[in-house]
């Protein structure tokens, strides 16, 4: 037990670097790299649609169901009574992934925290399956995502758990401003139906060109990403060694 008590903590900064390198290497240089990250793409879609739904509920509206489709798109069935509520509900979906990603980056600074966050995310997915998810893809894919999270919680080593939590954080934080250009698209096709995009709905509620609002939300998203990375990098500093009694062991 004495050897375990003096074992260095997994490096938070090293975990963050590995997560960043893995994300950009897989998405930029590995053939079909984005296909390898497909479960995380569906997770980002789920977070996006849950952002719509939770925002609608907070503003006094309703959130009846959520669909996730095989191509990575999704649809939250929400209702609000005022145009400004509809606009904020649209923004809630756009900002949910960078907000959740920044929180994961900033708070998963250690194996125990990473385990708690991954477990909480898995439980939230399972609760949403019981309450809101209605699409076949969602029923098939989201339990698999929850199972992967559970596997890291139960069997993942400290470093792997931290790297995975940081990888999810990076993926979510960059999702809204990734190369799809969604923030600057007037309309999208979801489940075979062309619909106004979220940023168009936001612009309709508050006025002004949707491109200008897209630039603003892109700046906010990049700011959240930067904040999450900053807090992850500077939160704990250099790894330290435990100085407690050899008879004490943390699990």
What is the tens place of the pLDDT at every residue in 182-201?
Answer: 899 999 988 888 999 999 99
Mean pLDDT of 133-141: 94
Provide the pLDDT for residue 28: 80
Mean pLDDT of 111-131: 95
> Which among 35, 41, 33 has a CA at the least distance from the CA of 142?
41
Measured CA angle at 216 (ends 101, 181), to 5 deg: 70
Burial class of residue 60, CB neighbours in 10 A (0-12, 13-18, 19+): exposed
Provide the pLDDT for residue 10: 61
- Reported confidence tier of residue 135, pLDDT bands at 50, 70, 90: very high
Query: 76 has which bridge partners?
Result: 66
Question: Range with the lowest mean pLDDT among 15-19, 24-28, 125-129?
Answer: 24-28
Beta strands (DSSP E) in the chain are 62-68, 74-79, 187-190, 193-196
Work out the percent of the chain whose per-residue pLDDT is above 90: 66
Provide the pLDDT for residue 242: 42
> What integer best gives the mean pLDDT of the chain?
87
- Angle between helical axes of 158-175 and 83-107 (0-180°, round to 10): 150
Work out the percent of the chain whose per-residue pLDDT is above 70: 88
What is the tens place of the pLDDT at every residue in 21-69?
Answer: 888 888 887 776 777 788 899 999 999 999 999 999 999 999 999 999 9
For the cut 70, the answer to whether the pLDDT of residue 4 exceeds it is: no
Provide the pLDDT for residue 240: 42
Q: How many residues does the chain have?
A: 251
């Amino acid at each position: 037990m004495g050897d375990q008590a003096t074992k260095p903590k997994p490096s938070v900064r090293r975990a963050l670097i590995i997560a960043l390198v893995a994300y950009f290497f897989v998405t930029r240089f590995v053939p079909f790299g984005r296909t390898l990250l497909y479960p995380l793409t569906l997770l980002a879609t789920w977070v996006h649609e849950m952002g719509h739904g939770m925002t609608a509920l907070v503003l006094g509206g309703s959130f009846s169901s959520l669909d996730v489709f095989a191509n990575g798109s999704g649809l939250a069935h929400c209702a609000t009574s005022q145009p400004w509520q509809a606009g904020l509900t649209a923004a809630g979906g756009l900002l949910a992934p960078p907000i959740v990603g920044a929180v994961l980056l900033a708070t998963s600074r250690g194996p125990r925290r990473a385990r708690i966050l991954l477990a909480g995310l898995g439980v939230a997915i399972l609760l949403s399956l019981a309450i809101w998810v209605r699409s076949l893809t969602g029923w098939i894919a989201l339990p698999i995502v929850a199972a992967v999270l559970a596997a890291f919680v139960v069997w993942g080593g400290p470093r792997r758990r931290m790297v995975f939590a940081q990888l999810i954080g990076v993926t979510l934080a960059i999702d809204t401003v990734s190369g799809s250009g969604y923030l600057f698209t007037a309309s999208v096709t979801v489940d075979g139906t062309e619909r106004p995009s979220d940023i168009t709905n936001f612009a309709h509620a508050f006025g002004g060109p949707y491109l200008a609002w897209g630039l603003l939300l892109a700046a906010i998203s990049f700011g959240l990403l930067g904040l999450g990375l900053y807090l992850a990098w500077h939160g704990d500093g250099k790894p330290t060694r435990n100085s407690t009694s050899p008879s004490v062991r943390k699990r």
